[in-house]
Copies of this chain bind each other. A is one copy, B any other.
């Protein structure tokens, strides 16, 4: 089997924002869907892993954005596994329009965990290290996935109580919902003359139903850094860090 695969999508009208651009959360979700299709075709999709009581957990996400598909634009997501080490695997993405427009390049870092113990699985031994056969370095390195440094003077910019539609099939807050909520912290008028050029997310822990997400933010040189925390009882636990450059 080829090590690289391409999946076709379209910016459906009701997936588009007021400015007729595909919502960033939808684009990111389609990257995750493409990742799962690619993994599924190689017997390591979420559904197959679940039978074995394992799942994939997204650790880092970085996307460099040239432009965003607009309403009715057809686009394709190409994805491949760039590396696999003991506890982490890197997957890259390239997003292109059917007319040749280059939309974005993205990189992700994943761990496989046991659903029961929440402990990471050793990828070099899981199913005899089968994932190593999927690795290819032929298609470039994508974007470097950073840790997202926050800077000082974080200010609470907004909050959101976790609801049913925030949860993914694993019962945690869908990784990409954090992105929806972070972009929702800006007014619609902001997007008239600001388009994201870089989006980075470093995932730390998982949000749950009943939590209130708190979005602490600092701005420096036109970049917005967020620490997203789950308020659970008296505690505040960091779920992820997000950086957006416009």
Contacts and interface: CB of A to CB of B under 8 A. Distances in A.
A183 B209 CA distance: 14
A187 interface: yes
Interface stretch (A74-82, A144-152, A159-167): A159-167
A245 interface: no
A176 interface: yes
A18 to B, nearest CB: 5
Contact of A13 (B18, B33, B180): B33
The number of times this chain is found in the oligomer is 2
A13 B183 CA distance: 22
A23 interface: yes
B191 A164 contact: yes
Interface of A: 12-18, 20, 23, 25, 29-30, 32-33, 36, 46-47, 71-72, 163-165, 167-171, 174, 176, 180, 183-184, 186-188, 191, 209
Contacts of A169: 13-14, 16-18, 20, 71
Nearest to A45: B13
Nearest to A160: B163
Contacts of A167: 17-18, 188
A188 B176 contact: no
B72 A47 contact: yes
23 contacts: A12-B29, A12-B33, A13-B47, A13-B169, A14-B33, A14-B36, A14-B168, A17-B165, A17-B167, A18-B164, A18-B168, A18-B171, A20-B169, A25-B165, A47-B71, A71-B169, A164-B183, A164-B184, A164-B186, A164-B188, A165-B184, A171-B188, A187-B209
